[in-house]
Amino acid sequence: MRKRDRFLTGILLILIGVSIGTLFALYTINDDLAPLSEVRYTEIKKSESPFFEDEELADIDPRFVFKTIANNVTPSVVYIETIIPVSENGESSSDSFWNRVIPRRARTVGSGVLITSDGYILTNNHVIEDAVDKGIKVVLNDKREFPAKVVGLDPSTDLAVIKIEGENHSAITVGNSESVDVGEWVLAIGNPFRLRSTVTAGIVSALSRDVQIIEDNFRIESFIQTDAAINKGNSGGALVNTSGQLVGINTAIASQSGSYQGYGFAVPVNLAMKVATDLIEFGEVRRALLGVSIVSVDYNRAVDIGLEEVKGVEIIVITEDGAAYEAGLELGDVILEVNGVEVNESNQLQEKIAIVRPGEKVDLTIWRDGQEFSQSVELKMLEQQQINDLVGIPESPQEEENEPEVFELDVDFHEFDLGFRVIEVPVQNGQLNQLIISRVYKYSEAWNRGLKKNQKIISVDEIEVEDLESLKELVSENLNKNKAVTIEVLDEDNARGYIELKDN
């Protein structure tokens, strides 16, 4: 009986455990104690309406208008293909028999900007200057192609105008480069590396840059510098502000690799449009002439003449019968403003004069003998004979062969065989005359070593130079003795440097 009782007791305990487990499970699925989520269909909302409209975004940040600018301006920027002759082994394309029979050609590319609806295009001189006859093709943003003819070239600003046929082209809106400020947003539009209609953005990095890239006796460089990406093929393209207005013509880059490194340069549109208007109207640029040579005022000079700030450009040479001479300007006068706009660098003054036509008047603010006054000057035209006289200065030291040198400016100067020219500028108040480098010939020893135009020569091999004659003697003596000479110079920013030149 005992075994049976134990067996029945075990079965009973098992049944009780199952019952308790069942009751617990039923209890835990009660809706109030353990609620479960229902499975439902999730609806995905779609909309093509922006959360902010473009106008609202533009109020938040100027960068939000880039899309609108690109849409509006890109049709005004064109792609230019130019066919140019190619020389072989230093021969021109007409020197050899085979080049005369089957000329060797190459195709280059660049950009341009439609400035009128009837097809006038502003571009760079270097984009189309060597083009063969009927060798310029323009491709619009809508892929239509047109042959183009040259209207005029201006090597001194590296600008040119070409024209295509047709009406109702998408002409760009021209702005005012005088209103451009450092730090403002700009867009560069062009065709880098044959990639058509490329838009890049950046800011204005600096104004009035002189980077000495234009190879011309009367070069005018007062570039807008930008960090918007500019590469080969962008030349001649548009630099526009956040209003979609043209403020510059993209021209060059500063690069050790040949590609973009953050330094792009554009010709200010005020200067570019003056050149373009002249080329369209006259077929050449009619350049106004003030009739002076100038240097930027540095700190030491500002102290000498009593200026409270380092500003202005000083007249160091004045041409007899020139516009400045006839208006009563004198050697040593410092030009502070042109038509109310400050000029603190030589190239700034050149730009301000270059945008004015001959015969027009400019109002100059002058500093003389501790006094500031205004003087109106009627500008003259730079005549071809004047150009010929000044160009009579040899292009390189080796070109002094048969004809005597012509130099009409009333200063002493000397050409050094190492590849630079120095002028001696008289200074009043009993001080030593200034010795200023007025030219450095490209690819010469001086050019390769980094000697720059407008630098002042202080000493030669630690011996102070007093005048041009002592400079010539010291340079000659050290070259004969050591085959090298070290020149101490001051640049326009009053930075001191020592440059060693070798007689190779």
Tell me how long the chain is.
504
- Do 323 and 456 share a domain, yes or no? no
- Do 111 and 57 share a domain, yes or no? yes
What amino acid positions are annotated as catalytic residues? 126, 158, 235
Beta bridge partners of 488: 459, 498
The per-residue pLDDT for 59 is 63
Q: How much helix, strand and coil, in percent to the nearest 5, is found in the chain?
A: 25, 30, 40
Q: How confident is the model at residue 408 (pLDDT cuts 50, 70, 90)?
A: very low
- Do 464 and 430 share a domain, yes or no? yes
In angstroms, rounded to a whole number, what is the distance separating the alpha carbons of residues 71 and 110?
20
Q: Which residues of 212-232 are buried (b: 16+ CB within 10 A; e: fewer)?
A: eebeeebbbbbbbbbbbbbbb
Does some domain include residue 391?
no
Number of structural domains (the chain) is 3
Beta bridge partners of 413: 423
Question: Which tokens hold the place of 294?
Answer: 């100038």
Phi, psi of 341 (to 5 degrees): -105, 130
pLDDT averaged over every residue in the chain:
78
One-letter amino acid of 18: V
Mean pLDDT over 421-425 rounds to: 84
406 has pLDDT over 60: no
Task: Answer with the one of 250, 285, 320 that is the final residue of a domain.
Answer: 285
Does some domain include residue 22?
no
Task: Answer with the one of 285, 313, 337 that is the final residue of a domain.
Answer: 285
Q: Which residue range forms the structural domain that includes residue 123? A: 52-285
Residue pLDDT, tens place only, 338-389: 998 889 888 888 889 888 888 889 999 999 988 899 999 998 887 643 444 4
- Do 212 and 360 share a domain, yes or no? no
Output DSSP code: residue 170.
-
- Do 182 and 89 share a domain, yes or no? yes
- Chain center to CA of 363: 27
- Chain center to CA of 446: 25
CATH number at residue 468: 2.30.42.10
48 has pLDDT over 60: no
Does some domain include residue 245?
yes
Tell me the DSSP string of 201-245: EEEEEEEEE------STT----EEEE-S---TT-TT-EEE-TTSE
- Do 346 and 486 share a domain, yes or no? no
- Do 437 and 334 share a domain, yes or no? no
- Do 68 and 198 share a domain, yes or no? yes
- Do 247 and 343 share a domain, yes or no? no
The per-residue pLDDT for 229 is 82
123 has pLDDT over 90: yes
| Strands 145-147, 136-139: pairing kind | antiparallel
The per-residue pLDDT for 92 is 42
Q: How confident is the model at residue 432 (pLDDT cuts 50, 70, 90)?
A: low
Does some domain include residue 139?
yes
Residue pLDDT, tens place only, 90-102: 444 444 544 554 5
Does some domain include residue 360?
yes
Does some domain include residue 392?
no
- Do 121 and 211 share a domain, yes or no? yes
Does some domain include residue 79?
yes
498 has pLDDT over 70: yes
Does some domain include residue 57?
yes
Closest CA relative to residue 180, chosen from 266, 75, 260: 266
Task: Answer with the one of 365, 382, 399 that is the final residue of a domain.
Answer: 382
In sequence order, what are the residues at sequence separation of 6 or more whose Cβ sits closer than 8 angstroms to the Cβ of residue 15? none
- Do 187 and 70 share a domain, yes or no? yes
CATH number at residue 164: 2.40.10.120
In angstroms, rounded to a whole number, what is the distance separating the alpha carbons of residues 295 and 441?
19
